[in-house]
Amino acid sequence: MDIQADVIVVGSGVAGALLADRLAGAGIDVAMLEAGRRVDRAAALQRFHDALIKTPESPYPPTPAADHPLSHDPDHWYRQSGPDPFKSTYIKVVGGTTWHWLGTCLRNLPADFRLRSRYRQGVDWPIAYDELEPYYLEAETELGVAGDSNEDLGSPRSGGFPMPAIAQTWLDRVMDRALDGTDYRVQATPQARNSVLREGRPPCCGSASCIPICPIQAKYDATVHLDRAQRKGLVLHEETTATFVETGPGGRIAAIRFRRPDGSGGRVRGRVFAIAAHAIETPRLLLNSRTDAVPDGVANGSGQVGRNLMDHPVQLSWALSAEPVWPYRGPLSTSGIENLRDGPFRGDRAAFRIQISNDGWSWPSGAPISLAGDLVSQGLTGTALRRALREQAARHVQLAALMEQLPDPANRIVLDPEARDPYGVPLPQIHYRVGDYCSRGLAAARQVHDEIFSRLNASKIRHHEEFQGAGHIIGTCKMGDDPGSSVVDRHCRSHDHPNLFLLGSTVFPTSATANPTLTIAALSLRAAAEIQRTIRDVS
């Protein structure tokens, strides 16, 4: 059952898919391992429609052989040891979590790469914004990002977006008008969602279910690049779970063991290995691969594998605007407030961006369905019920502030001493704390939300008492120049193993405030160039 190729990629999300497409296009023999199976879009959409509890995972139920966390059940898959619960999740399918992402494609700011130098917080990245900018531009073209090329979002550009921006909603326009003259700027959000017909995929038709599934694939998912890569020669092995990384002479990776649901298994061998299995599954695999030669696990000579787990903890706030804003239509967010992402305040508290949400009170309360139940419980029926439902749902406003979180070595993934998956690999045990820096940012966000709601003359203002997960799992295999304090170098190559690369948000030294997917994509494209050089050097 052994598999062999020049390059072995573990994980079929956006990082692995972009890498495989780029390498296969260069004539390099690539094999990919993916624990999950292909998704039938129509069947997944029906599961979502039928689900009583509609969560990001409801179209993609876990299987015993490809289990994953669930948003509504914090004790499924994760083993939490606190003090705070880690609330972000992922799925295991072909295409990874891009199936249920929102599509937001913001770049990091230049200052995000120099947090320690500028604000004496966190750490600096080993690369600067200018080094990554060409790859950001390339990633926007690859993913198909719609955006306003004339809008200043704080990240200098060397070229325009490949598509015009997705149209802003009536809510965005009301918000923009209400905030005119304040410090808060409403700006169109760049997103990997077709605004026009592009490469055989249709433009967005406003299905309002971006999370968890786009019915027509107007929103990008990684199967776009997987399909391209397969046409170029990629061999994709579905339902094939990597369980152990083997090291050989000179610290080189020799093979990766795998298992399948039918009980079969084997080894996959190559010249270069790239693990792109997310910021929880990647350290889980590396830590499970202990031997006498690597007693702390693969790539863990620094002791940093699994450490510095981060998210973008969310302050969720909602209110009833004075005038109708007509939510519950179109993409779940088309605009945001981005000019709060940097400033001297970062020396004391977290920066954040504000997502202006088009899905009303759906996230915090389950509206509009729950609203109908509330009104019925108040005794409304018939015409009075319909009138009240229409009048209130039309005025639902929700803001989500996505918070910067500092790296903390105590926030980490370790292997649970007891619970194991069907293949014998220990489940991830999570030690997590939001931290004071982030908590002060959450408090600042509540104040800003109050100011915004006051400009809307809003009533029934609510702030969620607990932070929410953004679905952005960051850190655990830090990038850095010092092998003693980081896991990979500036090209995402392991310091310990010259033919091992780690891809994805797992390598981020800090979280910044931008949704991470575009930076993941840019780093993967940059790593692809280094892997091609590596293949040439050993040929």
For the annotated catalytic residues, the residue numbers are: 472
Q: Rounded CA gap, 139 and 134, in Å?
A: 9
Q: Rounded CA gap, 124 and 453, in Å?
A: 36
Q: Rounded CA gap, 30 and 235, in Å?
A: 6
Reduce the DSSP state of residue 104 to 3 states and report it.
strand
Phi-psi region of 181 (alpha: psi -120 to 50; beta: other; left: phi over 0): left
State both tokens at 445: 């966000």
Edge-to-edge strand list for the sheet holding 79-83: 79-83, 426-432, 412-420
Contact 258, 33 (CB under 8 A): yes
Going 60 to 62 to 66 to 69, the CA torsion angle's sign is positive
Contact 331, 191 (CB under 8 A): yes
- The partner residues of 183 in beta bridges, in order of sequence, read none
State both tokens at 180: 């005119």
Q: Rounded CA gap, 112 and 124, in Å?
A: 8
What DSSP letter does each residue of 215-230 carry, written as one string?
A: TTS-B--THHHHHHHH
Q: Rounded CA gap, 125 and 253, in Å?
A: 26
